[in-house]
Amino acid sequence: MNFGLLIALAGMSGVAVALLLAPLLRHPRLGEKREAYNLAVYRDQLAELGRDRDRGLLTAEQAAAARAEIGRRMLALTPAAADPARSSSALSGVAAAAIAMLPVAALLLYWRLGAPGIPDLPSAGRGGAETPAAGATPPGPDMQQAIARLSDHLKQDPGDLKGWLLLARAEQSVGEYKKAAEGYRHAADLSGQRPEILGDYGEALVMAADGDVTPDARRAFEAELDDPETAPRARYYLALAELQHGHSRAALQAWVDLEADSPADAEWLGLLRRRIADTAAGLGLDAAALKTSSGGVRKAAGGPEAGQAPPPAGEVGAAKAIAEASPEDRRHMIEAMVAGLAARLQQHPEDGAGWARLGRSYMVLNQPENAREAFARAVELAPDSAPLKLAYAEAIIAAAGDTAGPPAAATALLREVLRADPENREALWYVGLAEAAAGNPEGAQAVWRELLAQLPADAPERGIVERRLAGLKFGDAK
């Protein structure tokens, strides 16, 4: 069974639950990161639509409807959570949006999802339907109105990083790639040029250029290489740029090396191997005989994974069975599927990417205790990964509940994150909480002042940090 199915179905169920209940049950400081992961889930679902249509799982009309629904889900996460004073007024709207997003058909339409931390290869690089919007119908009036409302919001609050990301993803979901690129450009500027956002910007530029890797896109992907979590996308596009400039052998070698560095169950391997096969054929080379830059033999070259066959009938049947089940039965089936993924990882404990995916899925399902254990295994296998350490720390914090500060184990991980990435905003925020809870207002002040230095002058998050600092001056760090 393709365990992308497990993650997708579990993720969609968890997102609905999280949207309805998490704002009511969760401390505000945990909401922002959970919402960011929900957006990553939607982004990966968008990336899969073109492939699902090509493989016959979706018609063009279904794909267009799916894009519109994902866009509405994105917009349902409009970032009122950045300011607790505004979040209560948004809860009813978010809950209503979540209820509206529960059609059973979604469980069939979004049957696959890759690793959110290591995104699928870009739509612009796929053969046939090169972009998600190929053959799509224009967005409906609801989507147009939602995009218009978000645009109006950003005119009033142009420093809203999450708002720009939402708008960019919504524009991308309806095929407005130039507008999406502009949104990502604003978001990249507000984020301090975060690599993964620069990668989103570069991908939108490629889509807007009908698949050409423009100079601006290339610079964006070169910056994205600094983020190990999203570097596979950047490596793919940079190799595509080499191919487009006539450097076929360099592109081929880069793709072979990317294949060697990819997990065995990476969602992008089918596409990547087709690229390798096509490019090798154009050069008159035997794809099966290619080697990595270090002289290694291609893994599974020419084997069953070399192409991307339609999904087994059992997988499609399972998706249909879940779609047709009652809500209670559906939840039991989804939980069984996630348990199956966990069981597979027990048989293959060396799969670090799998443990990370399982941890993220548990977080979406609001099962932080299970997420904590999964991330612990992932960090054991990738001890130098700052993003995994941050995710592990957040799972520990969520599992501990509403405490005065992060638990000691989480704080230790967060300090390791800051040693690797001194400007990491999430880590700065949490370490400040830890210092305040430990009765060290001077330490909290130092950390939060560093955090303020990373935030744009008009960022809504500044108010939260400034209020914390003001409280420290009066001895109230809680």
Residue 457 resides in a domain:
yes
Backbone angles phi, psi at 180, to 5 degrees: -60, -45
Contact 134, 59 (CB under 8 A): no
Supply the CATH number for residue 448's domain. 1.25.40
* Amino acid 180: pLDDT: 92
- Per-residue DSSP letters for 86-149? HHHHHHHHHHHHHHHT--THHHHHT-----TTSPPPPGGGSSSS-STTTTPPPPPHHHHHHHHH
* Amino acid 338: pLDDT: 66
Has residue 396 got a pLDDT over 50?
yes
- Show the DSSP H helices in 157-268 as ranges: 161-173, 177-190, 195-208, 215-224, 231-244, 248-261
Residue 338 resides in a domain:
no
pLDDT-based confidence at 312, cuts 50/70/90?
A: very low
Q: Which domain holds residue 421?
A: 403-478
Has residue 113 got a pLDDT over 60?
no
pTM, whole model, 2 decimals? 0.41
pLDDT-based confidence at 205, cuts 50/70/90?
A: very high
pLDDT-based confidence at 279, cuts 50/70/90?
A: confident
pLDDT-based confidence at 331, cuts 50/70/90?
A: low
* Amino acid 334: pLDDT: 56
Separation of alpha carbons 339 and 358, rounded Å: 10
Give 457 or 101, the one with higher predicted confidence. Answer: 457
Nearest to 361 by CA among 329, 385, 334: 334
Residue range 397-425: mean pLDDT, rounded: 89
As for how many domains the chain has, the answer is: 1
Has residue 271 got a pLDDT over 70?
yes
Has residue 171 got a pLDDT over 80?
yes
Has residue 461 got a pLDDT over 60?
yes
Residue 342 resides in a domain:
no
pLDDT-based confidence at 374, cuts 50/70/90?
A: very high
Q: How far is CA 19 from CA 99, 353, 402, in A?
A: 9, 26, 19
Residue range 75-101: mean pLDDT, rounded: 44
Q: How far is CA 333 from CA 76, 318, 324, 339, in A?
A: 27, 9, 11, 10
Separation of alpha carbons 436 and 427, rounded Å: 14
Residue 407 resides in a domain:
yes
* 73-77, 87-91, 307-311, 321-325, range with the lowest pLDDT: 307-311
pLDDT-based confidence at 458, cuts 50/70/90?
A: confident
Per-residue pLDDT tens digits for 154-167: 999 999 998 899 88
Per-residue pLDDT tens digits for 187-202: 999 999 999 999 999 9
Residue 168 resides in a domain:
no
Has residue 24 got a pLDDT over 70?
no
Residue range 275-281: mean pLDDT, rounded: 85
Separation of alpha carbons 117 and 137, rounded Å: 30
Residue 475 resides in a domain:
yes
Separation of alpha carbons 101 and 283, rounded Å: 48
Which residue type, as a one-letter code, is found at position 172? Q
Give 465 or 364, the one with higher predicted confidence. Answer: 465
Residue range 386-414: mean pLDDT, rounded: 89
Residue 466 resides in a domain:
yes
Has residue 299 got a pLDDT over 90?
no
Residue 308 resides in a domain:
no
Has residue 43 got a pLDDT over 90?
no
